[in-house]
Structure 1
Amino acid sequence: MLKATLKKLIPGSVWMRLQRIKATHKLAGYSRTQNTRFLKFSANPWNKPNQEELRGQIIYYIHRIEKGLTHGSDFRPGFGQNALQSLHDLLNQWHKAHYPTTDTTYQAAFSIVMAYIEKHQQEHQPLPEFLNALFPVQELEKTEANNTIAGVKTITTREKRHNQDKNFKELFEGRTSIRQFAKEPVDLSTVNQAIELSMKTPSVCNRQSYRVTLVSNPDLIGRILTVQGGWRGYAYPPVLAIITSDVRSFIYMEEHNEPYVDGGIFTMSFLLSLEYEGLAACPLNLMCSDANAAKIRKLASIPDYEVLITCVAIGHFQNQTLVPKSFRYSGSSITRIIR
């Protein structure tokens, strides 16, 4: 009753100003909570590493090395010294903490080193000196690590010919991120069909805030990905989709993270829809500084009321493409059941 009375007494413009001040304080509180949690628990040097933090860092370096192994004719022998050094240091921390060597993450770390050695042998290239200093081959041979967990695998166009006839399980399990594309141009009408199918994506109160900007200009794609910074060592894709979420769709301060949730769900739908349409794709992070985000906005004419979610590189499958194995944990390992 007091609120209703005050609202009648206070001029409308003043009331709106007070509401904005209240919302600003609310958002600041939410941000403080999120920032504190991230600073307290993320895998950063000021936090004493636990097993989960070590897992996250180890997987990060495994995947960096896997991507380097996917190169064929442009393979760079002896790459990845920094990543392998970091992997070595993290495994030492794992040993000091007496974490189990049967853990999938630990096994995958040795598996990627073995894959690194195998790739050099296949390319008839000598192993770099630093590798033997970090992971002596004779010691690797003594480990009981499963050497099939990490590394690379081959994807062929033959596997993708009948994607539209596959059931959901087959389509989902067969999808993988592709970073090397055929030179064949992409028909944007096929991408638009994938977007149309993706519109079935659920969103909060059906507000459908997701937006897609398609870029097919090669020069512009190159400039955007140079700012994005995560597409190194590969030819630029024929098409780049930038997924954003329109903040104007949301009302309450408690919804401040919802643009990212809805945009993330849409991105997965889009990736599966592209797979269904027989197109290869790879999602790319947009974890940019404010300065780089502003550059991408300007290059792609993205308005300020849309938040950046991710980029998706799109093209046609090559006849054969090497891709990271990108091992997965079992579903049971990430599941908590409360009865």
Structure 2
Amino acid sequence: MSLKTTMKNLIPNSVWMQLQRAKAKHKLAGYSGTQDARFLKFSANPWNKPNQEELRGQIIYYIHRIEKGLTHQSDFRPGFGRNALQSLHNLLNQWRKAHYPTTDTTYKAALSVVMAYIEKHKQEHEPLPTFLSTLFPVEELERTQTGNTLAGVKTVTAKEKESNKDKSFKELFEGRTSIRQFAKEPVDPNTVAQAIELAMKTPSVCNRQSYRVTLVSNPDLIARILTVQGGWRGYAYPPMLAIITSDERSFIYMEEHNEPFVDGGIFTMSFLLSLEYENLAACPLNLMCSDSNAAAIRKLASIPDYEVLIACVSIGHFQDQTLVPKSFRYPGSSITRVIR
């Protein structure tokens, strides 16, 4: 008989369980400590000297912020985005000072979004804000970047979505884009239920299917949840909101402590594609929020404490025409390592 078995037989079960819990807590602390240290060491924060990948991530962040501002149509706000454009200017200066190539896709996309900003003001017959010329050489960009259309906005129509159920997987996937402006008609819960049913094909660790969906259609409640979430600004609230969570009770081993996010993330993508298949527009929204905000969302949506918050998904019908960010993509080869 092993020493562990002997001790287990001698110690009361309640005490043994407490010892096991303490052991698990110690193991979790070690895993979390390693992850925290890695994030602090490599994330794009001011205490780390910026390298190309850190600059790339920050530049893309501000490109996307400007793109979202350009999607507004009837409610376009001329001269928007001063802080984002200032930050983009500063990052591009750092890029050049580090002698990173200005032919890089990220750098070119940054110039492209500035050009899209200029073009949008022209289309709206609005003067460019005076601050723009202090940040970027507007005349030079107009002369040299006219054909650079990597970033900006594109138009999505309701008509092109009518045949979604007849499209190949490639066509459906490539045609999906995040939609933040919806038609006013309500969403049929049965259609969303069909999308959830299809998304249940999502793989999960040992087939445990920990993902959960909370659907909210009350307009006041949607507004309150998204106000706490903090990422839905400048758009009318969606007709329906889904909150994706993962049930912690599905997991056993300390090594699985990140699995709720993995399984929940995979399910979220499946759900987005299933909504697209059902001809519903959608946009994923992160739930990377403070503990107090997370608690507020849990309370508003009656989400139990044993479920991990993964993401929100806004859901609605496509408008006849909607402007959306281009959200350029790198080629797959640029992110692939092959080990032979």
Q: Indicate the residue corresponding to 1:196 in structure 2.
A: 197
8 Å CA contact 1:107–1:146 kept in 2: the answer is no
Q: Secondary structure at the match of 1:119?
A: helix
Q: Indicate the residue corresponding to 1:58 in structure 2.
A: 59
Q: Secondary structure at the match of 2:178?
A: coil
Q: Which amino acid in 1 is paired with 2:173? A: F
Q: Indicate the residue corresponding to 1:274 in structure 2.
A: 275
Q: Which amino acid in 2 is paired with 1:283? A: P
Query: Whole-Å Cα distance in 2 between the matches of residues 228 and 253 of structure 1?
Result: 29
Q: Which amino acid in 2 is paired with 1:41? A: F
Q: Which amino acid in 2 is paired with 1:260? A: F
User: Which blocks of at least 5 consecutive residues in structure 1 are unaligned?
Assistant: none
Aligned-pair RMSD on alpha carbons? 0.9
8 Å CA contact 1:245–1:263 kept in 2: the answer is yes
Residues 57-136 of structure 1 aligned to structure 2 (within 5 Å): 57-136=58-137
8 Å CA contact 1:108–1:146 kept in 2: the answer is no
Q: Which amino acid in 1 is paired with 2:233? A: R
Query: Whole-Å Cα distance in 1 between the matches of residues 299 and 76 of structure 2?
Result: 34
Q: Indicate the residue corresponding to 1:206 in structure 2.
A: 207
Q: Which amino acid in 1 is paired with 2:272? A: L
User: Which blocks of at least 5 consecutive residues in structure 2 are unaligned?
Assistant: none
Q: Residue deviations 1:125-172, cap 9 Å, x none?
A: 000000011012123245468521000000001110010000100000
Q: Indicate the residue corresponding to 1:42 in structure 2.
A: 43
Query: Whole-Å Cα distance in 2 between the matches of residues 17 and 209 of structure 1?
Result: 26
8 Å CA contact 2:249–2:306 kept in 1: the answer is yes
8 Å CA contact 2:62–2:88 kept in 1: the answer is yes
Q: Secondary structure at the match of 1:311?
A: strand
What fraction of aligned residue pairs are identical, expressed as a percent?
85
8 Å CA contact 2:115–2:146 kept in 1: the answer is no
8 Å CA contact 1:107–1:145 kept in 2: the answer is no
Q: Secondary structure at the match of 1:178?
A: coil
Q: Indicate the residue corresponding to 1:288 in structure 2.
A: 289
Residues 153-164 of structure 1 aligned to structure 2 (within 5 Å): 153-164=154-165
Q: Indicate the residue corresponding to 1:226 in structure 2.
A: 227
Query: Whole-Å Cα distance in 1 between the matches of residues 303 and 145 of structure 2?
Result: 51
| Shift >6 Å, 4+ stretches | none
Measured after TM superposition, the shift of residue 227 of structure 1 is 0.3
8 Å CA contact 1:58–1:90 kept in 2: the answer is yes
Query: Whole-Å Cα distance in 1 between the matches of residues 296 and 137 of structure 2?
Result: 45
Query: Whole-Å Cα distance in 2 between the matches of residues 202 and 146 of structure 1?
Result: 43
Q: Which amino acid in 2 is paired with 1:125? A: E
Query: Whole-Å Cα distance in 2 between the matches of residues 141 and 241 of structure 1?
Result: 42
Query: Whole-Å Cα distance in 2 between the matches of residues 279 and 58 of structure 1?
Result: 31
8 Å CA contact 2:112–2:145 kept in 1: the answer is no
Q: Which amino acid in 2 is paired with 1:259? A: P
Measured after TM superposition, the shift of residue 322 of structure 1 is 0.1
8 Å CA contact 2:67–2:113 kept in 1: the answer is yes
Q: Secondary structure at the match of 2:37?
A: helix
Question: Is 1:246 aligned to residue 247 of structure 2?
Answer: yes
Q: Secondary structure at the match of 1:243?
A: strand
8 Å CA contact 2:56–2:106 kept in 1: the answer is yes
- With normalisation by structure 1, the TM-score equals 0.99
Query: Whole-Å Cα distance in 1 between the matches of residues 144 and 124 of structure 2?
Result: 24
Query: Whole-Å Cα distance in 2 between the matches of residues 332 and 135 of structure 1?
Result: 32
Q: Secondary structure at the match of 1:260?
A: helix
Q: Indicate the residue corresponding to 2:332 in structure 1.
A: 331
Question: Is 1:18 aligned to residue 19 of structure 2?
Answer: yes
Q: Secondary structure at the match of 2:49?
A: coil
Query: Whole-Å Cα distance in 1 between the matches of residues 209 and 174 of structure 2?
Result: 27
8 Å CA contact 2:115–2:145 kept in 1: the answer is no
Query: Whole-Å Cα distance in 1 between the matches of residues 106 and 227 of structure 2?
Result: 32
Give the aligned length. Answer: 339
Q: Indicate the residue corresponding to 1:186 in structure 2.
A: 187
Residues 302-313 of structure 1 aligned to structure 2 (within 5 Å): 302-313=303-314
Q: Secondary structure at the match of 1:197?
A: helix
Q: Indicate the residue corresponding to 1:168 in structure 2.
A: 169
8 Å CA contact 1:149–1:327 kept in 2: the answer is yes
